[in-house]
């Protein structure tokens, strides 16, 4: 949901552009009346893992005519706010947003399934870089404060799980937000993470990333330290600012003459044991690049299948894994050739197919 012009259609086009734009509603997310079709835009099922499907019902916001029929059997609400909305209009939209949540709460009193609320604060590219984090933080604070009358805390009660992301259709933040959303909708996603870590350890890989095949959203990843232990390089949580600037905007202005990765410390992570500085958004950047490359191949009537990279300090292979996934394997042991990585991926395919079967359920 979101007001007209917030960027919902652009998001759907970029992330799910393999599917037609005129699509049917998902009863798992909402059950709108057929008479509301003018206010709805929907998506064909996206097969995430094995037979697990994600269907998206794109509904308009205030004034769209969806007020009467939207609030039935809702398990997930993704609401898109336009960060550039003037204060007066933003206040009106926020009032309508709270009314919508109240309707959801009132209509699902007998439901045992907690509502998942994902808030996307969009169009952050239209804000100056040195102000984006501050403007986002203020807008997020306004939204969370408005939730106080409904819920005990800004993060929600046990009956609702709320998360907030800043997004722009022009950078990897959109892929990062949607990757997290889709991953959190997958039942037992921890099992796949454990499987990836086991595969990485067994094959002496430094990093392993799992992508959904059609959207190339990241649905699993693992990074191993030199000792083989898994390492969480992101830190923090989704409520922290995900922008690529320092949250201290005054300090940011003073440091603009420094190198890019020094003036944008939140974007990079340093690994002391490897003397390596890497982007925290590298997986989403890969999603963005591969998606664009696949589209370029399609324009030339060619089909993207796999990719190999051989560098001085690492080898990387991107290959189809299962019918619904691609896997990226990166090793710092350059004595392990890409052909060996490919063989390991193909030998592991039955293992990951069995792991995928554990995802099938009714949670989504």
Q: What's the pLDDT at 100?
A: 82
Q: Which residue has the tokens 């969480």?
A: 232
Residue 286's nearest CA partner among 226, 338, 221 is: 221
| CA angle at 107 for the pair 55 and 21, rounded to the nearest 5° | 25
Q: How much is the pLDDT for 5? A: 87
- Report pLDDT for 233: 58
Q: What is the pLDDT of residues 170-181, one digit of tens each?
A: 988 999 999 999
Confidence at residue 243, expressed as pLDDT on a 0 to 100 scale: 47
Residue stretches of the chain with pLDDT short of 70: 17-53, 55, 58-73, 108-112, 151-159, 188, 226-266, 270-276, 358-364
Residues pairing with 308 in the sheet: 317
Per-residue model confidence (pLDDT) at position 272:
63
Report the C-alpha gap between 86 and 91 in whole angstroms.
9
What pLDDT is stored for residue 364 in this prediction? 33
Q: What's the predicted TM-score (pTM) here? A: 0.78
pLDDT value at position 152?
54
Ordered structural domains, the chain, with CATH: 8-170 (3.40.50.300), 189-357 (3.30.450.190)
pLDDT tens profile 220-271? 999 887 666 666 655 544 434 544 444 444 344 334 434 444 444 467 776 6
**What would you report as the CA-atom Rg of the chain, rounded to the nearest whole angstrom?**
21
* pLDDT at site 190: 75
* Biggest CA pair distance of the chain: 63
Structure tokens at 18: 């393999």
Consecutive H or E run containing 263? helix 260-263
The 3-state DSSP class for residue 80 equals: strand
């Amino acid at each position: 949901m979101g007001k007209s012009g917030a960027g919902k259609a652009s998001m759907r086009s970029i992330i799910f552009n393999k599917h037609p734009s005129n699509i049917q509603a998902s009863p798992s997310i909402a059950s709108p009346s057929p008479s509301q079709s003018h206010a709805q835009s929907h998506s064909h099922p996206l097969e995430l893992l094995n037979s697990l499907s994600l269907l998206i019902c794109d509904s308009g916001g205030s004034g769209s005519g969806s007020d009467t029929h939207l609030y039935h059997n809702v398990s997930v609400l993704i609401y898109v706010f336009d960060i550039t909305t003037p204060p007066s209009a933003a206040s009106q939209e926020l009032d309508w947003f709270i009314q919508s949540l109240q309707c959801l709460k009132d209509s699902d009193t007998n439901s045992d399934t907690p509502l998942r609320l994902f808030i996307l604060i969009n169009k952050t590219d239209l804000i100056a870089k040195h102000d984006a984090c501050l403007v986002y933080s203020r807008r997020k604070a306004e939204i969370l404060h408005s939730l106080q009358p409904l819920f005990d805390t800004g993060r929600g009660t046990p009956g609702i799980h709320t998360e907030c992301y800043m997004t722009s259709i022009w950078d990897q933040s959109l892929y990062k937000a949607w990757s997290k959303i889709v991953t959190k909708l997958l039942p037992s996603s921890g099992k796949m993470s454990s499987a990836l870590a086991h595969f990485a350890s067994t094959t002496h890989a430094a990093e392993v990333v799992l992508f959904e095949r059609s959207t190339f959203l990241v649905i699993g990843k693992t990074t191993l330290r030199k000792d083989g232990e898994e390492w969480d390089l992101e830190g923090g949580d989704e409520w922290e600012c995900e922008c690529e600037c320092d949250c201290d905007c005054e300090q940011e202005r003073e440091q603009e003459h420094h190198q890019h990765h020094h003036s944008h410390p939140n974007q990079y992570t340093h690994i002391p044991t490897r003397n390596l500085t890497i982007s925290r958004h590298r997986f989403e950047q890969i999603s963005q690049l591969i998606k664009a490359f696949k589209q370029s191949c399609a324009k030339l009537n060619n089909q993207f299948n796999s990719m190999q990279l051989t560098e001085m300090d690492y080898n990387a292979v991107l290959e189809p894994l299962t019918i619904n996934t691609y896997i990226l394997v990166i090793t710092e042991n350059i004595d392990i050739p890409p052909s060996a990585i490919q063989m390991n991926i193909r030998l592991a395919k039955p293992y990951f197919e069995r792991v995928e079967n554990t995802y099938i359920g009714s949670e989504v």
